[in-house]
Structure 1
Amino acid sequence: MRDLQYLDNETCWLVKELKSNISQESYFLPRETGLNIMESAAENHNGVSAKCRNAKVEDLWSLTSFFGFSTQTFVLAVNLLDRFLAIMKVQPKHLPCIGVSCLHIAAKMVEDECNISPTHELIRISQSKFTVSDLSRMEKIISGKLNLELKAVTALTFLHLYHAVIVSLTSER
């Protein structure tokens, strides 16, 4: 890669942003010990297994598509879900509420306020058996456990930055 001194201001800023995100990325990855607990949950029949987590991710994709949320909302919701599952031992019966809560938190962070469906509608479409107050309570728990660090550096963050750098470099020619 060329030296930064030969890059225009925009490309220089993008490269610095990329470096900054690389240094922050590990903070937003699920803990490996938590992921190992999920893997062993299938063997021990307690806690959320990787199979249950994957099914919930598929549900989140369906809800994201149904409500017309962006891919960024989906990626952030999955990141929140994985980080939460990696630090908390969760009973499978609570997974629907956790998943929808993660999606709702992500939608509030990414989407325009006018594009966010009412909470009761999100619960109804998800075909879950919890209340709006359950969802609100779970959102507070998730926010608390993740130390309010909800805006995560994700794989999508890097894809956007790499794309912007490539576009910037090719437009210089």
Structure 2
Amino acid sequence: CCAPRLGGAAEELSSHRGGGSGGFLEHIFIHAARQLFGIHGASIRYRALKNKDFQEVTLERDGQVLLHFALAYGFRNIQNLVQKLKRGKCPYHYVEVMACPSGCLNGGGQIKLEGESSKEELQQVERLYESLRAEVPEENQAVRELYEHWLGGWGSARALQVLHTQYHAVERASSALSIKW
């Protein structure tokens, strides 16, 4: 009848590894290192390329690159990445892309504080975000209960339907206005 109650209002806030822009790069990197190469606890060291909004991470073993990931924040870096893709010069296995410079913590949805510069505000938000206790999502009790009680377990048909998507090409509709005379 009713879903189980998953914690109260007084619970401690927590986050995940990977900063304020989702952390998918770190989560996928650690998971891929473990599942594909049997490497547990892979360390993540970001290397800034042209600027702090375009960084890469590699996993190496015996001098061989096993995983090569990147993050690209802001339209300028996204455009550079797209150009690399078009030229076939993109060496990455995975790229985390965010439209906002400095990622989501600097996004248009952030409340702007009076009297503070955007840079100071961003630094304050980053410090607050980094002060949260980090958790591994699959080890979080509330996430486990949601999967068990609402979705019917990990990998269930309901979980796949609700949490996964598929991408496909969208045909352009031709209209009388788009016909060249």
The verdict on a shared fold, with TM-score over 0.5 as the criterion, is: no
Higher strand share: 2
User: Which is bigger in relative contact order (C-alpha 8 A, separation at least 6)?
Assistant: 1
Question: Which structure: larger Rg?
Answer: 2
